[in-house]
DNA sequence: TTGTAAGCGTTATCAT
DNA sequence: ATGATAACGCTTACAA
C-alpha cells in the first residue's frame, strides 16, 4: 500500500549495504551458498525481508547464462488445435512438474509464418534452457532446427523422419492392436479404420497396429479412411467409409474425437452401435465417456506424457542422458464395443 | 552442420568488428534506428547474416528493462482445469495475437503452494511485461498481488470482490437470461438451474440472470444446485436436483460440461429430453454438439476472450488506457430445448 | 570467511 | 553521423 507511483525495486547492492556486507556476500547468502558466516547470512536475510527484495531474474539469467524457462512448442497450422483437450492435459502435466523447479513454462504456438520465425529465433537465441516439441507433421523443419540449436530437446511422439535421441511416446502400434484385437474377439470380420494424419508417426503407427492385428488374425477384409484427429474430420471420414463399405461391422478410430464423429454418422445412418457396428477409439479423454453410447477406447496416460517429457527435459538440462520413454496403453471397455 | 561441439554464438561486438563499425552503430543498425549511414547499416546487416548473429534476448531485456514476455496465469487448485477445452481456446486466442508482436507467452498454473509463491515472485520481480489473470475464485490473493505489483494486469472475468480497472468479460447475466427466457418460451414453468461455483463472478452472474428471467416472467418456481463447471460435478448436482425436485421440467446449466452431465443423469432416469425436461447449457464448446441430444446453449466467443484480453494488455503496456470489454452472447438452438 | 573487480551482451547517453 | 562509455543487476573468479 505504498503510494509512491513507481518506486524502484531494491537491488542486491542496497540489500548488501543495509546488511552491512559486501555485495558478493549478499549474493552468496541469497543463494545460500558457502563461505558466509552465520551472522552475515542472517543479516542479509533480514535486510532482504525488510527491503522486500526480489532478485531480478533477467540480470541473473544474463550472469548465469540460463534463461530460467523451457518452451513447449506446439507445431501446427491451426491455433485451434488447442481446442483439443489433449494438449491441455500435456500442459497441465508439464506445469505440475515445472512447479517444483525454478523454471517457467513458455508456450509457443508456431502457427503463422511469423510464428515460425519467432520460434526459430527463440531456439537460436537460446532464450530458453530446453524445448519440448509436440505434434510434428511430415518433415517439419522445426525438428532439425531444434536439434541443431544446441539446446536440450525432447520430442512428444517420434517425428516421422529421422531418429531423435530423446522422446516420450505412447505405444501406438500396440494400442491399435489392442483395439483391433478386441474387435476381432467380438467376432467382427469387416473391421475398418479411421486413421489419423498419415504424415505423422502416430497416424502411421496406429494404422500399422490395426493392419498387423488383422493380418495376424487372418482377416483379409480391410478398409480405411484418413482423418485429422478432429471430430469434424471423423464425421467426414466415416461418411466416406460407410458409402464405400456399407457392409462394415466394426470401426477402429485412431482417436476419440474421430470416434465420436463416427458414432454420430452411424446414428444418423440408423446403424446400431455396437450391435451392428462396433466402435473403438483411442485416447481415453473425457469425451469418450459422454458419447452415446460411451466409447470403448484405448487409454493413454496423457497427463503422464506431459510429466515425463518435462522430467526428461530436466534430466537433459542437468546433463544426464535419459532413455527414450514409451508409455503403455490400456483398453477401457465401455459400451460401444 | 558445423561440428564444433558448442561454438559460442557471435556477439554484437563481433558483428561490429566484422562490419568495421562501432558497437553502438551496429546496435542502431540492428534495431534500425536513426543516425546510421546507409553504408554502415548495410555493412552491419551483411555481417549479421554472415555471422548468423542473433541478439541475446536476456541481455536486451536487462538493458531495456523489458522482459519480452507476458504471463497468462490460471488460478485454481487442480491442474486438470486445463482439461477443460475452454482454456485451450483462450490460450489459442492469446497466442495468435502475441504472434504478431515480440512478446512471448508464459503460462502459469498456480496450483500448489509453491506455485503460488512462484507466481508472486514472478510479479514482484517484474519477470514479465504484463499479466492476464483468469478464473479467480473467492477473494484470491492473486488479484491484490497482481494489482499491487506495478505491472499491467488484465482480468479474464471480473473477480468477485473489488473493482478492477481492466478486464474482458462476457455478459453472463444476459446470457443466462437468454437461456432461461428460451426455456420459458417453451412453456416450461418449473425451471431449475445447475449453477457454477458461487464464489466466482461467473457463477453468481449466471445464477442472477436465471433468477431475473424467472422473476420477470412471474414464475414462482425455482430450484438450484451448485456445481463446479465439470461434467462430473454436473452429474452429482443433477442427481441431487432430481431427487429434491422430481417435477422439474427444464434445466439451465451454467456451462456445457455440467449440461452434458445433466443429460446423462436424465437419460438414466428415463426422462426424455427435451420432451419431459428441456436443457440449456452455456459456452458453446465442441461438447455441446456431440451430446445426446445436441445441446441448446448460450454461445460465448471464447477465442475472442483470449484475443481481446491480449489486445487489452498490449494497449496497457503501450501506455494506453483501454476500456473494459464485455463480449456478447448468443443463443444457439439445437435439440435439447 | 571476506571483498574487489571483472564479466554477462545489450541499450542509451553524450560528447565529438 | 559516430563512437566511447556508462548503465542494467546479478554471479563468480580471484585476491586478501
- Is the pLDDT at A2 greater than 80? The verdict is no
Q: Is the domain of A279 the same as that of A322?
A: no
A78 occurs within a structural domain: yes
Q: pLDDT, tens digit, for every residue of A132-170?
A: 999 888 888 889 889 988 899 999 999 898 889 999 999
Between B95, B115, B122, which is nearest A107 by CB?
Answer: B95
A275 and A231 both lie in a single domain: yes
Q: What is the pLDDT of residue B333?
A: 98
Is any Cβ of chain B less than 8 angstroms from the Cβ of A124? yes
Same domain, A157 and A176: no
Contacts of B1 in chain A (CB under 8 A): 148
Same domain, A76 and A48: no
> Same domain for A159 and A306?
yes
Q: Within this chain, do residues A101 and A203 fall inside the same structural domain, yes or no?
A: no
Task: Confirm whether B102 is domain-assigned.
Answer: yes
Whether B162 and B310 map to the same domain: the answer is: yes
Shared domain check, B288 and B179: yes
Q: How far is residue B104 CA from its own chain's centroid?
A: 16
Q: What is the mean pLDDT of chain B?
A: 93
Q: Using an 8 Å CB-CB cutoff, list chain B residues near A104.
A: 106, 108, 118, 122, 127
Domain count across chain A: 3
* pLDDT over 80 at A1, yes or no: no
Assigned domain for A74 exists: yes
Interface check for A92 against chain B (CB to CB < 8 A): the answer is yes
Asked if pLDDT for residue B239 goes beyond 80, the answer is yes
pLDDT at residue A6 is higher than 60:
no
User: Residue A141's pLDDT is what?
Assistant: 87
In this prediction, residue A7 has a pLDDT band, given cuts at 50, 70 and 90, of low
| A14 vs B141, more confident | A14
* CATH code of the domain in which A237 resides: 3.40.50.2300
pLDDT greater than 80 at residue B253 = yes
Identify whether B334 is part of a domain.
no
Residue A64 lies in a domain: no
For A231-245, the pLDDT digits (tens) are 889 999 999 999 999
User: pLDDT for B157-194, tens place per residue?
Assistant: 998 888 899 999 999 999 999 999 999 999 999 999 99
Question: Could you list the residue range(s) of the whole structural domain that residue A202 is in?
Answer: 172-301
Note whether residue A334 is domain-resident: no
Are A123 and A144 in contact by the 8 Å Cβ rule? The answer is: no
The pLDDT of residue B2? 34
At A292, the pLDDT band (50, 70, 90 cuts) reads confident
Band of the pLDDT at A3, cuts 50, 70, 90?
very low
Interface contact flag, B59 A55, Cβ < 8 Å: no
Any chain B CB within 8 A of the CB of A69?
yes
Q: Answer yes or no: is pLDDT of B7 > 70.
A: no
A16 lies in the same domain as A110: no
| Interatomic CA–C1' length for residue A55 and nucleotide C1, angstroms | 24
pLDDT in tens, A172-216: 999 999 999 999 999 999 999 999 999 999 999 999 999 999 999
Strand C nucleotides with an atom less than 7 Å from a protein beta carbon: 1-5, 7-13
Average pLDDT for chain A: 93
User: How many angstroms separate the CA atoms of B94 and A52, rounded?
Assistant: 32
CATH number for the domain spanning B21: value is 1.10.260
How do residues A35-68 score in pLDDT, each as one tens digit? 999 999 999 999 999 999 999 999 999 999 999 9
Q: Which residue is nearest to nucleotide C9 (CA to C1')?
A: B59
* Inside any domain, residue A30: yes
Q: Quote the distance between the C-alpha of residue B28 and its chain's center.
A: 38
The pLDDT of residue B323 is above 60: yes
Q: How many angstroms separate the CA atoms of B26 and B244, rounded?
A: 75
Contact indicator for A299, A284 with CB cutoff of 8 Å = yes
Computed from CA positions of residues B304, B310, B312, B318, in that sequence, does the dihedral angle turn out positive or negative?
Answer: negative
Q: Do B291 and B313 fall into the same domain?
A: no
Tell me the C-alpha distance between B135 and B201, whole Å.
9
A190 shares its domain with A230? yes
A253 and A307 assigned to the same domain: no
Look at residue A220 and tell me if it is in a domain.
Answer: yes
User: Cα separation of A146 and A227, whole Å?
Assistant: 28
Beta bridge pairs of residue A327: A170
Amino acid at each position: 500500500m505504498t503510494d509512491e507511483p513507481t518506486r524502484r525495486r531494491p537491488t542486491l547492492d542496497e540489500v548488501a549495504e543495509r546488511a552491512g556486507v559486501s555485495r558478493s556476500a549478499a549474493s552468496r547468502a541469497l543463494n545460500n551458498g558457502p563461505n558466509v558466516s552465520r551472522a552475515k547470512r542472517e543479516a542479509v536475510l533480514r535486510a532482504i525481508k525488510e527491503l522486500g527484495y526480489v532478485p531480478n531474474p533477467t540480470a541473473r539469467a544474463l550472469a548465469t547464462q540460463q534463461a530460467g524457462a523451457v518452451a513447449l512448442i506446439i507445431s501446427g497450422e491451426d491455433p485451434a488445435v488447442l481446442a483439443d483437450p489433449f494438449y491441455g492435459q500435456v500442459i497441465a502435466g508439464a506445469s505440475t512438474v515445472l512447479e517444483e523447479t525454478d523454471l517457467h513454462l513458455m508456450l509457443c504456438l508456431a502457427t503463422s509464418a511469423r510464428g515460425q520465425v519467432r520460434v526459430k529465433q527463440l531456439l537460436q537465441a537460446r532464450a530458453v534452457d530446453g524445448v519440448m516439441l509436440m505434434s510434428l507433421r511430415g518433415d517439419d523443419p522445426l525438428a532439425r532446427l531444434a536439434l541443431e540449436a544446441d539446446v536440450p530437446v525432447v520430442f512428444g511422439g517420434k517425428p516421422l523422419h529421422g531418429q531423435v535421441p530423446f522422446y516420450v511416446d505412447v505405444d501406438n502400434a500396440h494400442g491399435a492392436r489392442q483395439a483391433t484385437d478386441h474387435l476381432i474377439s467380438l467376432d467382427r470380420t469387416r473391421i475398418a479404420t479411421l486413421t489419423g494424419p498419415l504424415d505423422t508417426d502416430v497416424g502411421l503407427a496406429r494404422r500399422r497396429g490395426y493392419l498387423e492385428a488383422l493380418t495376424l488374425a487372418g482377416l483379409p477384409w480391410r478398409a480405411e479412411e484418413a482423418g485429422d484427429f478432429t471430430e469434424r474430420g471423423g464425421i467426414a471420414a466415416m461418411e466416406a467409409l460407410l458409402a464405400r463399405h456399407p457392409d462394415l461391422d466394426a470401426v477402429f478410430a485412431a482417436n476419440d474425437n474421430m470416434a465420436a464423429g463416427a458414432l454420430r454418422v452411424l446414428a444418423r445412418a440408423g446403424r446400431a452401435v455396437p450391435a451392428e457396428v462396433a466402435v473403438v477409439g483411442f485416447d481415453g479423454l473425457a469425451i469418450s465417456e459422454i458419447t452415446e453410447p460411451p466409447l470403448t477406447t484405448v487409454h493413454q496416460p496423457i497427463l503422464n506424457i506431459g510429466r515425463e517429457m518435462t522430467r526428461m527435459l530436466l534430466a537433459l538440462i542437468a546433463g544426464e542422458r535419459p532413455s527414450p520413454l514409451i508409455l503403455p496403453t490400456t483398453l477401457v471397455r465401455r459400451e460401444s464395443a
